[in-house]
Structure 1
Amino acid sequence: MGGNLESEIGPPRVTLGYALASLRVMANSLVLKSKYFVTPCFPIGYGPDYVNAAVSFQFQGESHELLAILHRIEANFGRRRTQRWGGRVLDLDLLAFGDEIAPTVKVFEAWRDKPLTEQVSQTPQELILPHPRMQDRAFVLGPLMDVAPDWSHPVSGHTVRQMYNRLPAEERAALKPLP
């Protein structure tokens, strides 16, 4: 979860707190949350720094149902999907759903291997699980280290800890925990 623009209720950290409360109610689950981190906007230059966190919880339902809940919560807090990788008041990504691979390994690999120039201009029209570039992003793996360091990626077999440790040191150092 993350955001880098102020919502109607306040700055990103406040919005994330309220979004987390909404998630607890709508998903009917206890949630394990990471620390909040300030992370550079990705790609660099696309906007102000983000506040990011990760959550892990049990969900009784299908991945598409959970994604619909996440999109409803985003909309409730003013999220508008107008620009790919643009600034946002709230971003709730479904990174993984247990060991589910969706829709297929082939589609996952195609999105994982897409050049950055194509990633910026193309948006998948279907849910892809696990997130195809999570292994490349410190702003994802750093918070995940707090809540699921031993989760194994269902395609690569690597744990969050292994993926995080493979990131360049300067990217890991760019994560700044909020007090």
Structure 2
Amino acid sequence: MSRFYQTPAFPAGAGPDFVNAAIELESACDGEQILGHLHAVEAEFGRQRVQRWGARTLDLDLIGMGSLVLPDAKTQQYWRQLPLAQQKTMAPRELVIPHPRLAERGFVLVPVMDVAPDWCHPTTGLTIRQMHDALPEALRQEVVAL
């Protein structure tokens, strides 16, 4: 498990600052089952999915699963390259693994650096460390260890 980090809400204005962390775990469950468990925990903490990227009490994401790519490389690339304006209004109907925008998010990469810096993205070939180091300094600096 990583340290806890304070970060600005994403997207900007979506609520108060967040606390972010990352864990690495082993499971016999498939991605859909894991995501179902994560959503159940969110619901226990009062999470209601009313608006995409709206204010939330808890947000648990499945970032990656080893070298697994779901549902396929073409769909993964589509969601990874989707412009921000469309990201705000569109959500995939199926599980997309690895998380399509993890390489753009300091609030993901900084905590994951604590637990899996050498994990390699199965479609880009970049490690967490390489994605982290490629982030603009400002995005890394807004992730503050608690």
TM range (shorter): over 0.9
User: What is the identity, as a one-letter code, of the residue corresponding to 1:70?
Assistant: L
Aligned pairs, number:
146
Q: CA RMSD in A?
A: 0.7
Q: Distance in 2 between matches of 1:90 and 1:132?
A: 20
Q: Secondary structure at the match of 1:155?
A: coil
* Matched residue, 1:4: none
Q: Secondary structure at the match of 1:56?
A: coil
* Matched residue, 2:127: 159
The structure 1 segments of at least 4 consecutive aligned residues displaced by more than 6 Å after TM superposition are none
Alignment equivalent of 2:58, drawn from 87, 90, 93: 90
* Matched residue, 2:46: 78
Higher relative contact order (CA 8 A, sep 6+): 2
Fraction of identical pairs, as percent: 48
* Matched residue, 1:37: 5
User: TM-score of the superposition, structure 1-length normalised?
Assistant: 0.80
* Matched residue, 2:106: 138
Q: Secondary structure at the match of 2:109?
A: helix
Question: Any residues of structure 2 matched to 1:7-156 within 5 Å, and which?
Answer: 33-156=1-124
Q: Secondary structure at the match of 2:6?
A: strand
Q: Distance in 2 between matches of 1:120 and 1:53?
A: 23
Q: Distance in 2 between matches of 1:90 and 1:44?
A: 16
* Matched residue, 2:144: 176
Q: Distance in 2 between matches of 1:125 and 1:174?
A: 31
Once the two structures are TM-superposed, the CA of residue 77 in structure 1 deviates from its matched residue by 1.2
Where does the alignment leave 5 or more consecutive residues of structure 2 unmatched? none
Once the two structures are TM-superposed, the CA of residue 107 in structure 1 deviates from its matched residue by 0.6
User: TM-score of the superposition, structure 2-length normalised?
Assistant: 0.97
